[in-house]
A and B are shown apart, each in its own frame.
Chain A
Amino acid sequence: MAFKSDDDKTAYWKENLSILAKLLVVWFVVSFGCGILLVDVLDQIQFFGFKLGFWFAQQGSIYVFVVLIFVYMAKMNALDKKYGVDEE
């Protein structure tokens, strides 16, 4: 058994799911939100030479995706350590 107790196991999984949920909300908001559903509203705003909605759809969302994965990596590594279930 890798966890100290069953409570620990439940708590770890709960925290894991909460990290997932938060990051997936951001994932959804930048791509489906800003890039698709709200694109017409955001297109009213000029961002350098881009319409903002267009920029999110063709550039911005991709940058956020990359950041999300690295944030996830850092948070999960910290969580694994906290519960003593990391490798080594």
Chain B
Amino acid sequence: MDVQLLTFIIVGASFALYIAIAIWARAGSTTDFYVAGGGVPPVLNGMATAADWMSAASFISMAGLISFMGYDGAVYLMGWTGGYVLLALCLAPYLRKFGKFTVPDFIGDRYYSQTARTVAVFCAIFVCFTYVAGQMRGVGVVFSRFLEVDIVTGVVIGMAIVFFYTVLGGMKGITYTQVAQYCVLIFAYIVPCVFISMMVTGHILPQTAFGATLADGSGMYMLEKLDNLSVELGFNEYTSGTKSTIDVFFITFALMVGTAGLPHVIVRFFTVPKVRDARKSAGWALVFIAILYTTAPALASFGRVNMIETINGKDMQGTPYAEAPTWIKNWEQTGLITFKDKNGDGKMFYAAGSIDDPASQNEVKVDRDIMVLANPEIANLPAWVIALVAAGGVAAALSTSAGLLLVISTSVSHDLLKRNFAPNITDKAELFYARLAAGVAIVIAGYFGINPPGFVAQVVAFAFGLAASSFFPAIIMGIFSKRMNDKGAISGMIAGIAFTAAYIIYFKFVNPAANVPANWWFGISPEGIGTLGMLVNFAVAYGVFKMTDEAPQEIQDLVESIRFPKGAGEASAH
């Protein structure tokens, strides 16, 4: 059977499964819709959280990024997992005890302020839209490459599926669908990687294969070979980085704190029955995430060796273009690989530098995003593995979109509508508006998926920087300082966001030409500035707090009551 037919069958079967689950887990009330009735078992919730968190970026792009960044790729590996430690230890159990539906709910109640709630709502909506546009795009790319339908059709199919189970099932439908999606995506990620590590080193586990000796009998370590190859071709050693230590430190910190402050991640801990389940669920989520995140660096290094050897040949003399494997030609059609025969010898050669620079030997431009998708083809794996990877990529994109769309719809129907404009609407009416908001959000996200604004990649730094400099400090102070007041928290959030946004907007949009280390403050890139924004937030909040009255007694009592588990009820609106 050919690859395309197999891909149709496997992707189609996975869609049928998601729809069946959605019908089984319909939402009957707002509690079902917002927090799955608060009754999800912790291990399953951990799995759903992992699927929610691991987006098209984790599945499709991350290994590719690491493959090209070497050691520096650790910022993503540590940043996107270390945040869960902060989440599990400092946020999840307390927010669960607090027992509301959303992050703006916590901010609004804890700081007894409608302004704080509204600021939080807009941050949440902005962060989620930023993310979801990228996901829809991911669906489109997978569809267009593997099913050869155009991107528009791919995005529309993806929208229809997400629409169906988000609008029907709300959080309940999403949670159980995400469990299935996790299984699909992790299987799709691990299988090709196991095949490749067996081929390269003879080890089954990619995590150990990556530090093993090569299977070609040379007795050389895999990473040693990769270091040598990299240096020979004019790159840095793979295992040492090019970023400055301070930048790596700040980016990693911003990603960790940003992860812990992302509303669609936090809300997952409202769906479990008890505080102890929130702790457990965070642990399981990280286990399920770590399976992919410890495999990714292995995949990255194998992919890099395979790619270099395919293009340059085992003897490093270049492979004649006429004999190039079909995957190179396939990806060339999508524009993600470009070959320019600069020395006219008819052979491809990959090296450091740009293909447009006459001084560089490099003749092949390879887009980072194809690493995971092309890996099975590069390693000549069977067709069903390639089909599986396509289904995994779609599962990753769909599961994350659904989680984000839910936060958007909750923010609109619950935080904005019910809390601000129509406090007396019935549960049924609120549910209707939640579904309506989810529907509208999907259409907007789909529009951005089809017509991606050029700045999608840039705004990701924005989303993390914003979460790091606004939500995270506000929530932390709300739990660990019972006297922190509304004025301190609000001015902290505004100062943190304004500082971070100004820095990112200047370097990414206003004056991108100046975006070089020499111009950065203390050598911190826009990706890492959220860390400094967080410190600004804490400092301003503390300063303003010192000059104003402390939080009223009933709020201090509220904070004391969330500090121990006993008496945690179901999450509720009141």
- Give A contacts to B, CB under 8 Å: 2-3, 9, 12-13, 16, 20, 23-24, 27, 31-32, 35-37, 39, 43, 47-51, 54-55, 57-59, 61-63, 65-66, 68-70, 72-73, 76-77, 80, 83-87
Task: Select which of B71, B248, B286 is within 8 A of A66 by beta carbon.
Answer: B286
Instruction: Out of B78, B222, B224, B568, name the residue touching A61 (CB < 8 Å).
Output: B78
Say yes or no: A58 contacts B74, CB within 8 Å. yes
Q: How many residues of B are counted as interface, with CB atoms below 8 angstroms from the partner's CB atoms?
A: 52
Cβ of B240 < 8 Å from any Cβ of A? Answer: yes
Q: List the B side residues contacting A85 at CB < 8 Å.
A: 564-566
Interface of B is mostly: helix
Contact of A66 with B213 in the complex, beta carbons under 8 Å: no
Q: Is B282 an interface residue (CB 8 A)?
A: yes
- Contact of B224 with A49 in the complex, beta carbons under 8 Å: yes
Nearest Cβ distance between residue A19 and chain B, in whole angstroms? Answer: 9
B274 in contact (CB, < 8 A):
yes
Of all chain B residues, which has the CB nearest A79?
A: B564
Count chain A CB atoms within 10 A of each CB in B78, B208, B280, B290 and give the residue with the most. Answer: B78
For the complex, give the distance between the alpha carbons of A69 and B212 in Å. Answer: 29
Asked if A73 contacts B223 (CB within 8 A), the reply is no
When the two chains form their complex, are residues A37 and B212 in contact, meaning their CB atoms are under 8 A apart? Answer: no
- Pick the contact of A32: B86, B88, B224, B252 (CB < 8 A): B252
Contact indicator A69/B283 (Cβ below 8 Å): yes
- Residue in B88, B223, B248, B293 whose beta carbon sits within 8 Å of that of A62 in the complex: B293
Q: How far is the CA of A82 from the CA of B89 in the complex (A)?
A: 19
B297:A69 contact, CB within 8 angstroms: no
* Inter-chain contacts of B77 with A (CB < 8 A): 57-58, 61-62
16 A–B contacts, CB within 8 A, in A order:
A2-B564, A9-B564, A36-B249, A49-B213, A50-B210, A50-B239, A54-B71, A58-B297, A61-B77, A61-B78, A65-B84, A66-B287, A69-B89, A73-B88, A83-B564, A87-B567
- Inter-chain contacts of A87 with B (CB < 8 A): 274-276, 565-568
User: Given the complex, which residues of A lie within 8 Å of B283, measured CB to CB?
Assistant: 66, 69-70, 72-73
Instruction: Confirm or deny: B294 has a beta carbon within 8 angstroms of a beta carbon on chain A.
Output: yes
Residues of A within 8 A of B297 (CB): 58-59
- Residues of A close to B90: CB separation below 8 A: 20
Q: Complex: how many Å from CA A37 to CA B245?
A: 7
A72-B294 in contact (CB<8A) = no
Q: For the complex, is B82 an interface residue (Cβ under 8 Å from A)?
A: yes
- The residue of chain A having its C-beta at the shortest distance from the C-beta of B208 within the complex is A48
A48 to B274, CA, bound (A): 43
Given A37-B249, A69-B89, decide whether A13 and B211 contact each other with a Cβ distance below 8 A: no
Question: Considering residues A32, A35, A73, A86, which has the most beta carbons from chain B within 10 angstroms of its beta carbon?
Answer: A73
Within the complex, what minimum Cβ distance (angstroms) separates A82 from chain B? 12
**Which A residues are in CB contact (< 8 Å) with B282?**
69
CB contacts (< 8 Å) of B239 on chain A: these are 43, 50-51, 54
A77–B293 touching, CB < 8 Å: no
- Of A31, A73, A80, the residue contacting B82 (CB under 8 A) is A31
> Beta-carbon contacts of B259-280 to A below 8 Å, as 1s and 0s?
0000000000000001110011
In the assembled complex, the Cα of A70 lies from the Cα of B27 at a distance in Å of: 32
Cβ–Cβ contact B279 & A72, under 8 A:
yes
Residue with the greatest number of chain B CB neighbours at <10 A, chosen from A35, A66, A86 = A66
Asked if A2 and B78 sit within 8 Å, CB to CB, the answer is: no
From A13, A32, A37, A43, give the contact of B563 (CB < 8 A).
A13
Interface-centre pick from B74, B297, B565 (highest chain A CB count, 10 A): B74
Tell whether B533 is near chain A: CB-to-CB under 8 Å.
no
Give bound CA distance, A61 to B286, whole Å: 12
Residue of A nearest to B568 (CB): A87
Q: Are A36 and B245 in contact (CB-based, < 8 A)?
A: yes
**B566 contacts across to A, CB distance below 8 A:** 2, 80, 84-87
B82: A residues at CB distance < 8 A: 27, 31, 61, 65
